[in-house]
Amino acid sequence: MGSSDTVISIDAMGGDLGPAAVVSGMAKSAEKNPNLRYIVHGDEAQLKPLIAKRKITDICDIRHASDVVTMHEKPSHVMRHGKGTSMWSAIEAVRAGDATVCVSCGNTGALMAVSMIRLRKVSGVNRPAIACLWPSRNPSGFNVMLDVGADIRADQDDLLQYALMGLSYARNGFGIARPRIGLLNVGTEEHKGRAELKVAHEMIEAAADSNDFDYVGFVEGGDIPSDRVDVIVTDGFTGNVALKTAEGTANLISEGLREAFKFSPLSRIAALLAYPSLRRLRKRIDPRRVNGGVFLGLNGTVVKSHGSADATGVSAAIKLAVQLAQSGFGEKLAARVASASEAGQVADTAGEPQTAGGTNST
């Protein structure tokens, strides 16, 4: 493999649609990116013909793993007995430095557990987080929200770290030079919300200048898809409920639309005429296009693709992984967190703002 190649580690076995969908997504991404190489983990007997069929044998290094982590397996069980699984092997390739980023469609809890014990937390990070993309009114079409479920707790220090990790992700993953960060609360007034939120509010505000981001203050649930914020910070309990509530609402409305258009012969004609318009809308808010939750705060980057991702979804997750690998995201995030915690320590004693020169891209 050439020195300018980007190597992505792929867990080919975890998804609902099986390895065929994953390999098909890999081929889709490879078409657009000649420098892409894969380390593919899973059952060699199944993978070899699929890879040959898609004509990507040359860029794939298959690492056989006989076991698969199922969607309902408990994380604690996988941590103890998961060594022979494709998921474990895929993470291991990142740990060993053979690949920069890992992509898996598998069980989120197990993937986080294995990532935690094998990759370990970045120095200075207390709780890793999962960042997701959210369809929004911003020109990019989405916002970043974290944590959406890595941990059900987060205190003020964690929330500040989430802000810094989200900053680094928005800058390196999506090229937003000066992201606008908001803190999720039940109102935008300063006196609202839990005690730790009020403290985090002040901490994030104080960190904005030295870390080159704009802090927009408290935001509410209705602001998550708005164009006045790029990164929304919250604890993993609230973030997970919000994410699933939004998915549930979108599903209810889609169902309602489908029923409405089936109601009468006239509405069926309308549906036919409206089809291109509706397809444009669906594309805009299609979860497959923004597929990929990213685990932040570990020594190595893990992209969690949706369990039900098809080739388009897998390819979107790989695209994100490539962007993160090529930007050197992992090191930059680690530097950002480390420099912020140093700055915090110095500020505590000397009151001087500390910004390392040349870290604006972290």
Site residues, its own copies (CB under 8 A): 74, 135-137, 149, 152-153, 184, 186, 191, 193-194, 220-226, 234, 236-238, 240-253, 255-257, 259-261, 263-264, 266-267, 269-274, 276-278, 280-281, 284-285
Residue (221 or 328) nearer to its own copies, CB: 221
In the complex, least distance from residue 12 CB atom to its own copies, rounded to whole angstroms: 26
254 Cβ contact list (under 8 Å, min separation 6) = none
Q: Amino acid letter at 3?
A: S
Of residues 208 and 257, the one with the C-beta less far from its own copies: 257
d(CA 337, CA 169): 12
Helices 86-95 and 108-119 cross at an angle (nearest 10°) of 30
CB 69 within 8 A of CB 110: yes
Helices (H) and strands (E) in the chain, counts: 11, 11
- DSSP for 246-296, please give it: HHHHHHHHHHHHHHHHHSSHHHHHHHHHHHHHHHHHHHHT-TTTT--EEEE
Which residues are within 8 A (CB) of 228 and not within 5 positions of it... i.e. 6 or more apart? 180, 182, 216, 219
Q: Between 128 and 300, whose beta carbon lies closer to its own copies?
A: 128
Q: From the CB of 135, what's the least distance to its own copies, in Å? A: 7
Bin 279: left if φ > 0, else alpha if -120 < ψ < 50, else beta. Answer: alpha
Nearer to its own copies, 115 or 234 (CB): 234
Q: Which is nearer to its own copies, 309 or 324 (CB)?
A: 309
Count CB atoms within 10 A of the CB of residue 265.
Answer: 7
Q: Which CB atom, from 117 or from 186, has the smaller least distance to its own copies?
A: 186
Indicate the residue among 256 and 353 with the shorter CB distance to its own copies.
256
Min dist CB 249 to its own copies, Å, is: 4
In terms of CB distance, is 203 or 246 closer to its own copies? 246
Q: Which residue type occupies 239?
A: G
Q: Taking Cα atoms as reference points, which of 110, 108, 204 lies closest to residue 154?
A: 204
Distance in Å, CB of 274 to its own copies, minimum: 4
- Check if the beta carbon of residue 182 is closer than 8 Å to that of residue 223: yes
User: At closest approach, how far in Å is the CB of 85 from its own copies?
Assistant: 20
Shortest distance in whole angstroms from residue 251 CB to its own copies? 7
CB of 125 to its own copies, least distance (A): 21
Provide, rounded to whole angstroms, the least separation between the CB of residue 349 and its own copies: 34
Q: State how far the Cα of 235 lies from the Cα of 150, in Å rounded to an integer.
A: 9
For 164, the token pair is: 């810094």
